[in-house]
Structure 1
Amino acid sequence: MPLIAIEEHWIMPDVTSALRAEPQPDESLAFHEVGDNRERLEDLGAGRIAAMDAQGIDMSVLALAPPGVQPLPPGKALALSRAANDMAAAVVARHPARFRALSTLPMSSPKDVAGELERAAGMGHAGTMVHGRSGDLFLDDPAYDDFFSAAAELGQPVFIHPQLPSTAVRDASYRGFDPMTDLALATFGWGWHLDTATAALRLVLRGTFDRHPDLQVVLGHWGEMLLFWLDRADGLSRIAGLERSVSDYIRSNFYITSSGMLNPALLQHALSVTTVDRLIFSTDYPFQRPTRKEIDSFLSHFSSDAERERFSSANAASLYGIAL
C-alpha cells in the first residue's frame, strides 16, 4: 500500500537570507535552526530520500517552510516565488517517482498571485501552500478573489499553513513570559493553529466557496482546531447569510491532514466530523519525524484496508493528480 506525505518542508537559502534581512525578521525562523532541521530542510536529494525510506514514505509533496515569502515586500516576494517554484520543479524532474511540489506564491503582491499560480501549475506543481495573512491583508480579502478563482479553475488545492500571528495579536495574547515561551505559545503551542483556523473560517464567512464551489482547501494538524468547534461555528452561517452550514463547507471544500500528529483519538474525532475521503497523511517533516513503527501503528487504527488506503495514498493521489 503506497504512502504519500503531503506537507513535507524545504527551504531555499536565498529566501532565508531575504527573510533575515527584513527590518523585523520573522522569529519563527528560529525553528529552522533547531537540531539538524536546517540541514534536512535544505536537502532535496539523497538524504531526504533516505529519511523517507526509513519512514516507509513512497512520495513526498514538498512545500516551502513557513513563513515562505509572505513577509517580504512585493518585488522580492515575486522574484523569490518564481525562483523557488523553478527550483522545486527541477527537484521533481530529477526524482519524479519520489517528489511532487506545492507552489510558493507572492501573496504580498495580490495582483501577481494568480499569474504565478498559473505558471507554477504549468510546470507541474500539484497545488499551492499559502498562509492566512500578508501584512495586514487577510487571505479572505477581495484582493485575492482572482487567486481563488484561478485555483478553482486550475484544480490547484490551496494548503493554508500556520504562520506567526501579527504583532498586535502577539502583544494582546502571547506576551509576558520569557522570549522562548512567548514564541512557543504564539506558534506551535497555540497561536499558529488558532490563527490558521480563523483564516479558514473567514474564507467560509466571506462566501468564498459559494463563489468558487470547486475550490479545495487543505488544513494541517487535524484541521487546526476548527474541527473541534463546529457545533459553535455553525451558528455563524445564518448570521453571515451563507448558503450552507460551516460544517457542510468543511465536509465538501476542505481536506484535513495529520501533520505528524499520529494520535488515534484525533483520527476518530475527525472521522466523526467529516469522511475518510477527506483525510490525508502528512508528517510535517522535518519538524515532526514519526518512525515507521509509529506510522504503521497509527495506520492500524483504520477499520478496513480500503479506509487505510484512502488515507495513506488514494485521497492525496486524487486531490493532487498523482498517478499511483
Structure 2
Amino acid sequence: MNLVTGGTGLVGAHLLLHLLQNGEKVKALFRTENSIIKTKKLFNQFNQNDLFHQIEWVEGDVNNIPSLEIAFENISTVYHCAALISFDSKDEALLRKVNIEGTANMVNLALAFGVNSFCYVSSIAALGDLSENETIITEETEWNPEKPHSDYALSKYGAEMEIWRAQQEGLNCVIVNPGVILGSGFWDKGSGEIFTKIANGLPFYTKGSTGFVAVEDVVKIMYILQKENISGERFTIVGENINFHTISFTIAECLKVKRPFFYAKPFFTGLYWRLDWIFAELFFQPRRFSRATAKSLHSTDFYSNKKIKDKLNYSFLPIKEYCSSISSFYSKNG
C-alpha cells in the first residue's frame, strides 16, 4: 500500500493518478473535503473517475501525529509531496512548521511503522550555490549558508536534512528536486497561475531563466525510483532550462492570446516588490510579490539533469509541446 501526502495538490494528484493506472493501492491525506474536489476534477479530465473512487482518503495533517498514525497503517511506500510554498516573509515560521517539522514527523513514523521506502519531493531551491568557477547546478553543488536564500529554500533544505537523518537511521529514502513543475488541473496556484495570468493578459516578462519540467515526468520518475529500490540519492528533475520570456511567449502562442509585451527590468521588479510590501503592511494583505520572487525572475540558473537521465535512461517530454497540451486542457477547463 502506498501513502501519498499532498494528494490534493498538483504533484500529489497526478501521482495518485499514475499509481492507480499502474495497479497500485493508495491512501491519500486530505485536510478538508473541499480540497479533494480539484483532484476529482483532474481524474475526470482524464476520464478516470473509476480510479478516483479507489483512493482511500484519510483526513490528516503532517503536523497532526495521531492522524498520521492512522494513515501509516499497512503502508510500505511513502510519497511525501505535501509542502507549503510561500515567499512571504510573514510565513517563515509556518514554512518551518510544515516543511521541516512535518517532514520530520513523516520520517519518524515511517521508521516506527517499518516503511520500506520513502520518496521526498524537494525543490531545485534546495540545491547548492554556484562558486565562481561553476556554471551548472548539479546534485553535488555545495550549499553555501553564507549566501542569501529564501525562507522557502531554507525550509526545503532543512526538510532534506531530516530525510538524510532518517536514511542514517535505517529508512530507505530518495529525494527528487524538481524545477518549475508544469501541469494541468490546478490553475489558481503554482505554475498553473502562469497559464491563468497569461490568458488574462499578463503584460510583463523578464529575461531570467530556470529549469522546467512536466508533472508527468516528475511522477513517472518518482514511481520508477521506488520500484527499482533506489535510495540514499537525490536527483534533479528538470526537462529543460528555459528563459522566462520564452516560456511566457510559448504559452501565449499556445493559448492564442496576446503575449507579454513589457520587459520588466530589475529596477521595475525591485520597485514592485517594495510597493507590494507597503500595501501588505498597510492593508494587512498577504504578499503577492516578494523580494525573493523578484530576484528569481532575473536569475539565470542552469540545472543539469544528467544524473537522472543516465540512471534511468530517461527521456523528458519537450516543454514546448507539453505547453501546447496543457493549454488545450486550460481552454476546456481553466
* TM band (smaller chain): 0.3 to 0.5
Q: Taking structure 1 as the reference length, what is the TM-score of the superposition?
A: 0.33
Greater C-alpha Rg: 2
TM value normalised by structure 2: 0.32
